[in-house]
Structure 1
Amino acid sequence: MDNASAVITRTAGTSRRANRSERSYTLRYHTTAGGGRIDMPENMVDWLYGLQHFGIKLGLDNIQALLDVLDRPERNYRTVHIAGTNGKGSVAAMLDAMLAAAGKRSGLFTSPHLVRPNERIRLLGTDIDDRELNRRLAAMRDIIEAARVDGTLAAHPSFFEVITATALEAFRQHKMDVAVLEVGLGGRLDATNAVAADVGVVVSIGLDHVKTLGPTIEKIAAEKAGIVKPGMRVISGVVQAEARRVLRDACERAGAECIDARERFALELGDAKEFTLRGKHGTYSDLRVALLGPHQIDNARVAVAAFELVMECFGEAAHEDTVREGLARVRWAGRLQWIDRGAGQPRMLLDGAHNPAGIRCIAEHLNDQPLGDDAVLLFGATSGKPLDELLKPLAAHCRTVVVGRPPVECGLDPQEVAAAAKPFFERVEAAPDTAEALSLATAIAGDGGTIFVTGSLYLVGEVLGLLEHRQVPGPVAM
């Protein structure tokens, strides 16, 4: 490193029986040749990305041990744990926005990110900034290394375990009243399940990640229901009878309360996409969600039900104005997100739908809000997806598809996807990477045209990164 040397100072107990409260750590930093200190440590996002070689660890022993080392930061605030095949990120964002409108100090943890990992940790409505993320990751690295030396941690935490613990610690340091945690994968063995949440939410159940979670609705529901804890109050947005039964049984075994959002609120649709939720605990009228798509109204019902329960944890009631404000202000990138690229460029619609249920929701929205005859589909998918079920509904809205490769190891070969697309589209093109796919789609759509990007959150993330015209960290499949 030019004119700088890396230094580290650490004081830490070397015995497994050392009192954790007596451990102290100082961050790695750099000194210049003249002896001055640079506050920023080396780029810790590179270190974080390097942890991908540990893979995805499904299990709680390691994250529990790491949270013990940190003295259980999640016990300093209320927590909401949100699982589901589709909609969990939207519900989490809605809940975070309503809590902010209610004057609560709220932290939001979601995954995956689209462009940069800062998106995963939202503090008081704002993504954690680069400086703070760097500093917190440097502190986490030092803590992990010391814990590995003294034997407290049997194995090095994975990317997802590290970012989860970093978020929980950041929420403690910012003195949050409440943290909203989105499950990464499944629920039962996900790192976020190390937290004993006050309120649980299962938004939906569908067939996705079947190699990991199981090939049936019942098996996937059982994995999602793994977030249920004794005494927890659980909001359900699940529609399938077999999945509802699995969730109710899990709640009964744990002594938890299962509350169906559809039973808690009657939904009344009004004009101009406004709606009303009527329940015995309150009526919320003239609501409008900032997120596009009719499915977001169903998600809003689940989010408002969860919001009521969280406010009850504080001994407070949910207010209509607060609900209305939160839903109107919610932001959630990469979900039916329109981008105007300026004069001479086609406009773009991006959505991270990546399973049949998600694609059906998007297709329903496009039935009401058509893209136009010359819209070009920019599509990519990851391994294990039922390509016919993803592509066929989209062919009703785009005659041309350009296939790219999501920038993750499990991204499917564009030629394989293109072959699956040929029975459904008039024109099929394939490009070796996302940059070339975007360039080709732009040329085909032309000035005044439309490009619709979908099939993978990782594809959407890389497109968003390309539109920034500068180097960005990019998506991570964990």
Structure 2
Amino acid sequence: MFTTVDEAINWLHSRERFGIKPGLKRMKEMLEQLGNPERRLKMIHIAGTNGKGSVVSYLRHMFQEAGHETATFTSPYIESFNERISVNGTPISDEHLLKVVNDVKPIVDNLDDNQEIGKPTEFEILTVISIQYFARIAYPDIVLFETGLGGRLDSTNVIHPMLSIITNIGYDHMDILGETIEEIASEKAGIIKSGVPVIAAVAQQEALAVIEAKVNEQQTKLYQLGREFQIIESDNVKNGETFTFQSPFVTLENIEISMKGPHQVRNASLALMAVDYMKRFYSLIVDEQDIRTGLKKTSWPGRFEVVKEKPLTILDGAHNPEGIQALKNTVERHYKEHNVHIIFAAMKDKKLSEMVSLLDSFADTISFVDFDFPRAAASTDLIELSKVKEKQAFAHWSEAYQEVVARIGTEDVVLVTGSLYFISDVRKELYRT
């Protein structure tokens, strides 16, 4: 038994990140020993390379605006560990986290001795903790459940949701998910289940073909952006984006969102299609004003987030080529006339050459920095990948930030990006000052 929440969190962090033996046996065994709490929950399952957190946030704000208690399971965290397990945007309390960890630990200890199944990982245990908390303590109306990695063998894939969402398919975690778009799509498509409709915004035809094949195999329905539902027109405004949304059931004109970028219009459209489906087929009450207000209120830490006005400092958690491309599109859409100074750090297992090449294409200067994380790429290695004229390497982001701020103009933009873990550190420090 743990007596403090710090002990409980340290125990979780001490677990392996990935299981030696892949599969869902450990998850099923733990949930069975808890009495299968997942069966009590009404869930929406969200997978995809990028955009999962934003889609979750759009959905939560719309459901919450309509009066529905909405739970979320997301990763990684930006501000505090507890935020990964939240209800109506409020993280699980230390008291409840400690209680549920103590409920789950004896089951984990028993499995640790079972060589056939293998030891449960940190993420598997955290997934079980979230389910136990939602089902036995919080009792939400709806749970938005985000995959951790992939889909097919992800520890979240033990649920039978009302609806599945696949945001997009891109190149990330290729050492685990596969080298080709088709292989990665196949892993994401692993969340597709018999009779559970799928809402997707998959751009590549080869990936979409994989999704469609799985949908047909499971005899369910696919709603694909650009086909079953549409973004009719979209424009940028000073404080976000506007667009018109059309589904088989409704047309909503002049929708406003506060999160910037064409990719956020796509993410909001996925969430709108999900809400529309839930209204039509589950009689969920969400009126048009709830939708409009919820979307306008939606924000998500670390997603093109303005953390300082002078100088204009923006944090963005883009951590793969698709994310950096979306970031570039957003900068060019909203800050085309401004000089852009980038502070960049990343994990060494990412497609770094492609990411840096994209940064080169719209940055005026780039500062590459080290940060304290086991898989972090060295700034001295990153700088070698860049062809931009003005570039420097720093041991710490704060040195880079001070140097950039000292030399830039009043209309310039400072953009911090490359890793959610990295911007989480930066965010904490900038909000303290």
Q: TM-score, normalised by structure 2?
A: 0.90
Q: Provide closer, same or farther for how the CA distance between residues 312 and 155 of structure 1 changes in structure 2, counting only shifts above 3 A.
A: farther
Q: Provide closer, same or farther for how the CA distance between residues 47 and 267 of structure 1 changes in structure 2, counting only shifts above 3 A.
A: same
Computing the radius of gyration over CA atoms, which structure comes out larger, 1 or 2?
1
Q: Which runs of 5+ in 2 are unaligned?
A: none
Q: Provide closer, same or farther for how the CA distance between residues 193 and 326 of structure 1 changes in structure 2, counting only shifts above 3 A.
A: same
Q: Does 1:349 align with 2:317?
A: no
Q: Does 1:258 align with 2:258?
A: no
Q: Does 1:162 align with 2:115?
A: no
Q: Provide closer, same or farther for how the CA distance between residues 61 and 402 of structure 1 changes in structure 2, counting only shifts above 3 A.
A: same
Alignment partners' CA distance in 2, 1:244 and 1:118: 35
Relative to structure 2, which stretch is displaced further, 306-315 or 75-84? 306-315
Question: Cα offset for 1:246?
Answer: 0.5
Alignment partners' CA distance in 1, 2:147 and 2:163: 13
Is the CA contact (8 Å cut-off) linking 2:244 and 2:251 kept in structure 1?
A: yes
CA RMSD of aligned residues (A): 2.6
Among residues 274, 292, 304, which one is paired with 1:306 in the alignment? 274
Q: Does 1:286 align with 2:254?
A: yes
Q: Provide closer, same or farther for how the CA distance between residues 438 and 270 of structure 1 changes in structure 2, counting only shifts above 3 A.
A: closer
Among residues 223, 242, 254, which one is paired with 1:274 in the alignment? 242
Q: Deviations over 1:8-60 (max 9, x none)?
A: 5xxxxxxxxxxxxxxxxxxx43xxxxxxxxxx555422222222466687421
Alignment partners' CA distance in 1, 2:294 and 2:287: 11
Alignment partners' CA distance in 2, 1:382 and 1:369: 28
Is the CA contact (8 Å cut-off) linking 1:236 and 1:260 kept in structure 2?
A: yes
**Matches of residues 367-382 of structure 1 in structure 2 within 5 Å?**
367-370=332-335, 374-382=339-347
Question: Cα offset for 1:256?
Answer: 2.0
Question: Cα offset for 1:153?
Answer: 9.5
Match of 2:35 in 1: 71
Match of 2:359 in 1: 394
Q: Does 1:89 align with 2:57?
A: no
Q: How many residues align?
A: 428
Question: Cα offset for 1:122?
Answer: 1.7
Match of 1:430 in 2: 393
Question: Cα offset for 1:459?
Answer: 1.3
Match of 1:50 in 2: 14
Is the CA contact (8 Å cut-off) linking 1:382 and 1:406 kept in structure 2?
A: no
Q: Provide closer, same or farther for how the CA distance between residues 145 and 153 of structure 1 changes in structure 2, counting only shifts above 3 A.
A: farther
Q: Provide closer, same or farther for how the CA distance between residues 252 and 53 of structure 1 changes in structure 2, counting only shifts above 3 A.
A: closer
Q: Provide closer, same or farther for how the CA distance between residues 147 and 157 of structure 1 changes in structure 2, counting only shifts above 3 A.
A: closer
- In the alignment, residue 218 of structure 1 is paired with which amino acid? E
Alignment partners' CA distance in 2, 1:181 and 1:215: 26
Q: Deviations over 1:406-425 (max 9, x none)?
A: 4432211111101111x1x2
Q: Provide closer, same or farther for how the CA distance between residues 440 and 65 of structure 1 changes in structure 2, counting only shifts above 3 A.
A: farther
Among residues 296, 302, 305, which one is paired with 1:334 in the alignment? 302
**Matches of residues 2-401 of structure 1 in structure 2 within 5 Å?**
8=1, 28-29=2-3, 40=4, 42-52=6-16, 58-145=22-109, 148=112, 154-172=117-135, 173-269=137-233, 272=237, 273-312=241-280, 314-316=282-284, 318-340=286-308, 346-370=311-335, 374-401=339-366
Q: Provide closer, same or farther for how the CA distance between residues 396 and 133 of structure 1 changes in structure 2, counting only shifts above 3 A.
A: same
Q: Provide closer, same or farther for how the CA distance between residues 242 and 76 of structure 1 changes in structure 2, counting only shifts above 3 A.
A: same
Question: Cα offset for 1:169?
Answer: 1.5
Q: Provide closer, same or farther for how the CA distance between residues 57 and 197 of structure 1 changes in structure 2, counting only shifts above 3 A.
A: farther
Alignment partners' CA distance in 1, 2:173 and 2:379: 20
Alignment partners' CA distance in 1, 2:290 and 2:212: 30
Q: Provide closer, same or farther for how the CA distance between residues 50 and 442 of structure 1 changes in structure 2, counting only shifts above 3 A.
A: farther
Secondary structure of 1:185's partner?
A: coil
Secondary structure of 2:108's partner?
A: helix
Q: Deviations over 1:351-389 (max 9, x none)?
A: 111122211111111112227655421101212333332
Q: Provide closer, same or farther for how the CA distance between residues 143 and 81 of structure 1 changes in structure 2, counting only shifts above 3 A.
A: same
- In the alignment, residue 66 of structure 2 is paired with which amino acid? A
**Percent of paired sites with the same residue:** 31
Question: Cα offset for 1:130?
Answer: 3.5
Is the CA contact (8 Å cut-off) linking 2:47 and 2:166 kept in structure 1?
A: yes
Q: Does 1:403 align with 2:368?
A: yes
Match of 1:466 in 2: 429
Is the CA contact (8 Å cut-off) linking 2:45 and 2:164 kept in structure 1?
A: yes
- In the alignment, residue 332 of structure 2 is paired with which amino acid? N
Q: Deviations over 1:416-452 (max 9, x none)?
A: 101111x1x2222212344544454444548875421
Alignment partners' CA distance in 2, 1:255 and 1:102: 32
Q: Provide closer, same or farther for how the CA distance between residues 301 and 175 of structure 1 changes in structure 2, counting only shifts above 3 A.
A: same
Match of 1:414 in 2: 379
Q: Provide closer, same or farther for how the CA distance between residues 461 and 270 of structure 1 changes in structure 2, counting only shifts above 3 A.
A: closer
Question: Cα offset for 1:288?
Answer: 1.0
Q: Provide closer, same or farther for how the CA distance between residues 48 and 439 of structure 1 changes in structure 2, counting only shifts above 3 A.
A: farther
Secondary structure of 1:288's partner?
A: strand
Alignment partners' CA distance in 2, 1:153 and 1:120: 30
Question: Cα offset for 1:156?
Answer: 3.3
Question: Cα offset for 1:259?
Answer: 1.8
Q: Deviations over 1:260-293 (max 9, x none)?
A: 1332323232664322212331222231112111
Q: Provide closer, same or farther for how the CA distance between residues 395 and 304 of structure 1 changes in structure 2, counting only shifts above 3 A.
A: same
Question: Cα offset for 1:235?
Answer: 0.8
Question: Cα offset for 1:70?
Answer: 1.8
Alignment partners' CA distance in 2, 1:235 and 1:270: 20
Q: Provide closer, same or farther for how the CA distance between residues 270 and 462 of structure 1 changes in structure 2, counting only shifts above 3 A.
A: closer
Alignment partners' CA distance in 2, 1:125 and 1:44: 22
Alignment partners' CA distance in 2, 1:323 and 1:385: 36
Secondary structure of 1:428's partner?
A: strand
Relative to structure 2, which stretch is displaced further, 373-382 or 322-331? 373-382
